[in-house]
A and B are shown apart, each in its own frame.
Chain A
Amino acid sequence: MDLEDKKLDAEVKMRRTLLAAERWLSKKGVLSVGKVFTVGIFILLVLGPILYLLLQIIISWDDINSTVFNDPILGNEAFLMMMRSIGLSLKIAAIVTVFDIIVGVPIAWILARYNFRGKNILDTLVDMPMAVPTSALGFSIYLFWGTNNGISKLFNSEVGLVSQGTLLIILAHVAFTFPYVTRSIKGIISDLDLNLEKAGRTLGASPFTIARMISLPLVKEGLLAGIVLAFTRSLGETGATLIVSGVYQTAPVVIVSWMKGLKIPTTAFLAFMLIIISLTLLTLVRLFARKVGLPWNKVFPRFERKLSSKPVTRTRDGVSLFLFLIFVFVPALFVIVFLFQWWGGSPFSGDPQAGMIYQVFQAPDQKITDITNALVTSIEIALIVTLINVIIATPMAFFISKMKNKKLKGFLDLLIDIPLVIPSSALGFSIFFLWGSNGMHILSPGFMMIIVAHVSFTYSYCVRPLIGSFDAIPTMYDEAATSFGASKFTAFRKVTFPFLKSGLIAAAIMTFTRSMSETGATIICMGVERTIPVLLVDFFEASTFPAAAFAATILIVISFLLLLLLRFFSRRKRNE
């Protein structure tokens, strides 16, 4: 009895200490310090490298001027090359975005509005290109379109249908950027109030007119955000582009190749230009998305009614699904088919030394060891990055979600998105530039620098869903908690946090997935260690395709599992 009482006392004492500590932490002063600290870390890790790069461009303008514009031997050849590569990148990104809209919007509509068997599977498949490393995706697409193993078999052709170059880059980019468009509007479309459409119909509007005049304006901002993401992702993509570009050099590829040649000032300037372009786009869309009008208020009832007719809508749905299958789904997973074709030997000559088994497990260079090592490195990095980001992103998300000053909130929200839109190779370069030998000289390329780079570029992927999770928790719980005498921290621990669990897990998986699949920044920040997407590029460059296919398949399987996990937790979050 006595013992029990003592135990109870100890429990009460402990709880009181904890409550007191939380009360102290909830003091205004302490909270302010916490906020400053949170924002400080964000600026240092995420924005710091970019700001440093911008600063250095200004400070060492003379240096840049002499290498970029007035090189004693090449003159402004470096600048011209930059302009060419940026021009090519912009052109590709523009075409890719148009395709994304054509494929992405109808699929979003189908997923949001129709109920059919296998909808869940389609939904997962649409998401997949976002989770699979772009280098694996690019490789698979190259195999499908660009070699005599894929589509060309249908035409009995000896060579690939599409050779490396602009068209292949576009095909690859469409595959992994269109989900950004689909994703950004699918949720909004399924949340649209169906009653508004019913109201429109009773007023005499055909479904097409309603979609155009009522639904589209409500989806507009999400769509624009998705378009910006798709455009900037295409503009900045490295992993897949390295594989499918051939001699055509897009800007991110140029960054990587100049980095390899250690042309620091020119690389810095190109990275700077890419960052500026992406930021300008992001800012413009953020500022003006709401204001962009859809001026077309004139209605053509008969014509629009025809567009709404069953045959037309069925054709539209069919075409977009067909495009998805032929341009995304089949090419993206073709690598698995290829792997089985080349399992024990070449399907053409039968030579076992050209097969996967030999290349990976039997050849003297022991690729399996490389693959295992790279896999372990990738997972280690991803785990550490996820841990760091969950710790630094949760308070930030909470802070932004609860912020009352709308302007400041909007501004922070914009800053959060920066790592999302700037090319990862440019980001990787600016991290190398700040932390490496040219800047603070704290890190040299290698494991640690990759972690810093990944923390920086996965930050948005972690914060964004968390802000959503915090926003989704009704404020009444918080008010109820505090009205019963809980300090802010206690309320957070006992009430807010349990609501957050699934959201937090989802954010963590997202971060992990992104870190696992990143190529561009990793190539720049790595030392001798390879992550698995980079190893894949190496295999590709060494023309050991079956080995590359083996690595790619492993990556696809891992990402697929992660994706299923992510969907499980996001769904649980929604149900809560």
Chain B
Amino acid sequence: MVKVELKDVTKFYGKIRGVENIDLSIDDGEYLAVLGPTGSGKTSTMYLLAGLLKPSSGSIHFDQTDVTKTPAEDREVGFVFEEYNLFPRMLVEENVLFGPVVKDLDIPESKLIAKELFTLLNIAGKEKNLPDEISGGQKQRVALARAIVSNAKLLVMDDPLRALDAKIREILQVELRKLVKDLGLTCIHATHDTHEAMRVADRIAVFKDGKIVQIGSPEEVYNHPNSLYVADFLGENTTIKGKISEKKNDCYFKTEDGLEFKIETSLNDGEEAIALVPSELLDVFDVSERKNINYDNILEGKVLKSKCIGEFNEIEIKLNNTIFKAKDLIGKNIPLKKGSTVLIATDKDDYRIFPQKEEIENEK
């Protein structure tokens, strides 16, 4: 119910950088995921939005109002923490009503809202429990209800699912998005997990070292990463080094061990490059299928490892000296045999090509 804008926001802790020159605009009712590794400035950004930190420079606006100097208690931001932070000596119900009580809101009305939220979040009946008596997933649902009941216009979540088991995380991702969209809230959700970001958000902002490196819809960011860093962070890739070589009108990527792939790139002939191919885009076929398939690149390799790890079969295939990792959704067929010869099939637009100098930058 609010449009959020960060204008050139910088936060330093002494000499340590939290975030630097963040420009970010979140539309009313938009669900934005802030994605990045530990130390990339996600938490700083969340705290700045909530008013738990003051920026060293720059300003923050909710709708047209400058809230840079507004303290946390007056911002009407619902905050959900990684570790729930439920008040330990209060009942679940008292926790949820804490906001309305300290803000002197209409308590009976808040109780009604809380009751509805509890039903929506599958935690009805837990009102009289202490936080210690409910599971982690339920705690985070309570924390979510608590943040919303306090009259929040903006929901800010700092890696809210990190402490939970994979199973419950998966369930809550769906619940979270549904709730936020049903209530029409503006929401900013920090996470270190690409899958989670893509699952919940309308747009993703990728952070690196306190700066935003790319922002866009999940599909844009994933399919068209603007840097090696983004490609590396978002996807599970096979990384290969080589050189660009142009023949006629086609572009090829040549590795030292003699592999050659047709690719698409804006890099020039002879330039040293890195190619990334996401593991789900590597298609693997039995040798007998060669005639039935139509790809830009079809090469033969040997299966090093093949294992079912739940939703995917994970396959490692060796071509010359390069090991390719493929991930294939499980299906009717039981995974391939170790040691067998298979075909690896890719199209030219499956490769993400970056100049090698980016790798050196990344390692800094």
Contact = CB atoms under 8 A, between A and B. Distances in A.
A321 B250 CA distance: 79
Contact of B50 (A193, A202, A217, A297): A202
B106 interface: no
A204 B50 CA distance: 11
Contact of A299 (B71, B75, B88, B104): B104
B78 interface: yes
B112 interface: no
Contacts of A297: 101
Interface in A177-235: 193, 195-196, 198-206, 209, 213-214, 217-218
A218 B150 contact: no
Given A218-B88, A299-B104, A203 B98 contact: yes
B71 A193 contact: no
Nearest to A217: B89
A213 B143 CA distance: 17
Interface stretch (B79-87, B235-243, B260-268): B79-87
A468 interface: no
A195 B81 contact: yes
B72 interface: yes
Nearest to B156: A202
A206 B73 contact: yes
B81 A205 contact: no
Interface string B48-67: 00111000000000000000
Interface string A144-187: 00000000000000000000000000000000000000000000
B291 to A, nearest CB: 60
**Which of A202, A206, A299 gathers most chain B CB within 10 Å?**
A202
B90 to A, nearest CB: 8
Contact of A202 (B72, B87, B88, B101): B72
A204 B73 contact: yes
B200 interface: no
A350 interface: no
A340 B103 CA distance: 59
Interface string B99-143: 101111000000000000000000000000000000000000001
Interface residues of B, number: 31
B172 interface: no
Contact of B79 (A198, A217, A218, A305): A198
Interface residues of A, number: 21
Contacts of A40: none
Contacts of A206: 73, 102
Contacts of B103: 203-204, 301
B244 interface: no
Given A205-B98, A214-B87, A301 B79 contact: no
Contact of B99 (A196, A203, A305): A203
A301 B83 contact: no
B11 interface: no
A206 B72 CA distance: 9
Contact of B104 (A203, A217, A301): A301
A199 B79 contact: yes
B117 to A, nearest CB: 15
Contacts of B85: 193, 195-196, 198-199
B67 to A, nearest CB: 13
B363 interface: no
B146 interface: yes
A184 B259 CA distance: 71
Contacts of B88: 196, 218
B317 interface: no
A210 to B, nearest CB: 8
Contact of A203 (B51, B83, B146): B146
A213 B102 CA distance: 10
Contacts of B81: 195, 198-199
Contacts of B143: 199
Nearest to A308: B73
B201 to A, nearest CB: 21
A213 B97 CA distance: 13
Contacts of B87: 196, 199-200, 214
B99 to A, nearest CB: 4
Contacts of B188: none
A202 B50 CA distance: 7
B74 interface: yes
Given A198-B52, A198-B79, A204 B89 contact: no
Given A195-B85, A198-B81, A204 B52 contact: no
B79 A204 contact: no
B228 interface: no
Contacts of B206: none
A202 B102 contact: no
B83 A195 contact: yes
A198 B101 contact: no
Contacts of B150: 202-204
A198 B73 CA distance: 9
Interface string B222-233: 000000000000
B89 A202 contact: no
Contacts of A198: 47, 50, 52, 72, 79, 81, 85
A217 B130 CA distance: 15
A561 to B, nearest CB: 36
Given A195-B81, A198-B79, A203 B102 contact: yes
B198 interface: no
B46 to A, nearest CB: 10
B162 to A, nearest CB: 14
B147 interface: yes
Interface in A506-561: none
Given A299-B104, A301-B103, A301-B104, A200 B98 contact: yes
Nearest to A220: B89
Nearest to A299: B102
A508 B80 CA distance: 46
15 contacts: A195-B81, A198-B47, A199-B79, A202-B51, A202-B73, A203-B99, A203-B102, A203-B150, A204-B151, A205-B73, A206-B102, A213-B98, A299-B102, A299-B104, A305-B73
Please list the 10 inter-chain residue pairs (A to B) with the smallest Cβ-Cβ separation, ordered nearest first.
A202-B79, A203-B99, A205-B102, A201-B72, A199-B85, A204-B103, A203-B150, A195-B85, A217-B89, A204-B73
Given A193-B85, A202-B150, A203-B146, 11 more contacts: A195-B83, A199-B79, A199-B85, A200-B87, A201-B72, A202-B51, A202-B52, A203-B99, A217-B89, A297-B101, A305-B73
Interface of B: 47, 50-52, 71-79, 81, 83, 85, 87-89, 98-99, 101-104, 143, 146-147, 150-151, 156
